[in-house]
Amino acid sequence: MSFRITGLDPEPFKPLFDLSDEALAARGALRVFADDPRMPCRVSMAHAELGEELLLLNHAHQPANTPYRSTHAIYVRKLADRAFDAVDAVPEVMRSRLVAVRAFDAQHMMIDADVSEGDATAALIERLLENSETSYLQAHYARRGCFAARIERA
């Protein structure tokens, strides 16, 4: 089954880069500079370059009013000006980690979930989307629990 992975829209994050560190802190956000080559941007779905400016902030990735409503920390690169959008392609930033993929129905209730790594992630996505009750998937980086991306049928 064909699938589509999308990064987050960069527009809501752009104005935040103009805020002072104090104003960011008041919003529970933090300006950071990549000191690790594996800091994953949720807009571009790419790792930040060493020294690159990012924001670490809380994001409501599951905002529906259900028991699964959820927010978590994400990184967004300042240079990320376009959301990742690809069909039948799992970005390296996800393939390089243990990923938890969660299936949700139209009422935003979790109906299935599993973990995968590397090239096995595409097969897991396809398997979860084969269920006709699945409305969409969410991928999370399993070790830290951070939201990675939304996945839908293509």
Summarised one tens digit per residue, pLDDT across range 4-52 is: 999 999 999 999 999 999 999 999 999 999 999 999 999 999 999 999 9
Q: What is the pTM of this model?
A: 0.94
The rounded distance, in Å, linking the Cα atoms of 50 and 16 is 21
> At 121, is the pLDDT very low, low, confident or very high (cuts 50, 70, 90)?
very high
Q: Name residue 104's amino acid.
A: F
Q: Based on the structure, what is the number of domains in the chain?
A: 1
Q: For the chain, give the number of residues.
A: 154
pLDDT at 85: 98
Q: List beta partners, residue 115.
A: 100
Cα 30-85-60 angle, rounded to 5 deg: 40
Domain that residue 135 falls in: 3-153
- Tabulate helix, strand, coil % of the chain (nearest 5): 15, 40, 45
Dist. CA 112–CA 107, nearest whole Å = 14
pLDDT for 1: 87
Torsion sign across C-alpha atoms 49, 60, 28, 24: positive
Segment 93-117 shows an average pLDDT of: 97
